C-alpha cells in the first residue's frame, strides 16, 4: 500500500512509486544500518548490501556489534539516499533482520555481491555463512524484508509511506 503524507509534502507532490524506490535500493552502494544495543542505546553503522527478491541483504562478522545487537533484538532500520538538499530520494526501511543459513540462498546472495561490488566482495558459502575468498574471515548473512518503508523526495518535497503485507 502506497500513500503520500500531505502534512510533509509540497502541494504539487505525488506519492513516489515503489518501483522507483526499488531501483534506488538496488543501485545504492552504501546503506546505514540502525540496531539497538542491549542497554537500549542506538547503534548506527554504514555497510554494503544487496536488494534481491523483495528484501535487503547484508553481512557482518559474528562478533561485530551489529550482529550481537541483532541476536538480542531483530528490529532494525536500513537507510540510503542522497546528501543533497534539493535532489534525490532518501529511503528508510523498517523490518526485522533474520539470519539466513540456507546455502542455496546464500550462494545467490553471494553472487549478487560480486555482480554489484566486484571481485573484492567474493564470498564462498559453507557452514551457513559467508567466507571471504581472501581468507579475511566469516560473516553472518541477514535478510530484512520491509514491514514499512518511507521515501523522502526533495524536488518537490514529499513523504511517501509503503506498507507491506507479511
Tell me: the pLDDT tens digits for 92-110?
999 999 999 999 999 999 9
Percent of the chain with pLDDT over 90: 90
pLDDT band at 134 (very low <50, low <70, confident <90, very high): confident
**H runs (alpha helix) in the chain:** 18-27, 65-72, 103-117
pTM: 0.94
The better pLDDT of the pair 49, 5 is held by 49
Residue 128: all three cell numbers together: 551457513
Exposure b/e, 26-54, CB count within 10 A at least 16 = b: eebeebebbbbeeeeeeeeeeeebbbbee
How many whole angstroms separate alpha carbon 76 and alpha carbon 70? 8
The span from the CA of 94 to the CA of 75, in Å, is 8
Q: What is the pLDDT of residue 133?
A: 77
Whole-number pLDDT of residue 159: 95
pLDDT(160) > 80: yes
Domains, the chain, with CATH or none: 2-163 (2.30.110.10)
Q: What percent of the chain has pLDDT over 70?
A: 100
Amino acid at each position: 500500500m502506497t500513500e503520500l503524507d500531505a502534512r510533509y509534502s509540497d502541494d504539487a507532490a505525488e506519492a513516489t512509486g515503489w518501483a522507483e524506490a526499488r531501483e534506488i535500493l538496488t543501485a545504492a552502494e552504501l546503506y546505514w544500518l540502525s540496531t539497538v544495543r542491549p542497554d537500549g542505546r542506538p547503534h548506527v553503522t554504514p555497510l554494503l548490501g544487496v536488494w534481491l527478491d523483495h528484501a535487503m541483504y547484508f553481512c557482518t562478522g559474528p562478533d561485530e556489534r551489529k550482529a550481537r545487537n541483532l541476536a538480542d533484538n531483530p528490529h532494525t532500520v536500513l537507510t540510503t539516499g542522497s546528501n543533497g538538499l534539493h535532489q534525490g530520494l532518501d529511503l528508510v526501511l523498517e523490518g526485522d533482520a533474520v539470519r539466513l543459513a540456507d546455502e542455496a540462498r546464500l550462494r545467490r546472495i553471494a553472487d549478487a555481491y560480486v555482480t554489484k561490488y566486484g571481485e573484492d566482495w567474493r564470498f564462498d558459502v559453507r557452514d551457513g555463512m559467508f567466507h571471504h575468498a581472501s581468507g579475511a574471515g566469516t560473516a553472518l548473512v541477514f535478510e530484512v524484508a520491509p514491514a514499512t518503508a518511507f521515501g523522502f523526495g526533495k524536488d518537490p518535497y514529499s513523504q511517501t509511506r509503503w506498507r507491506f503485507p507479511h
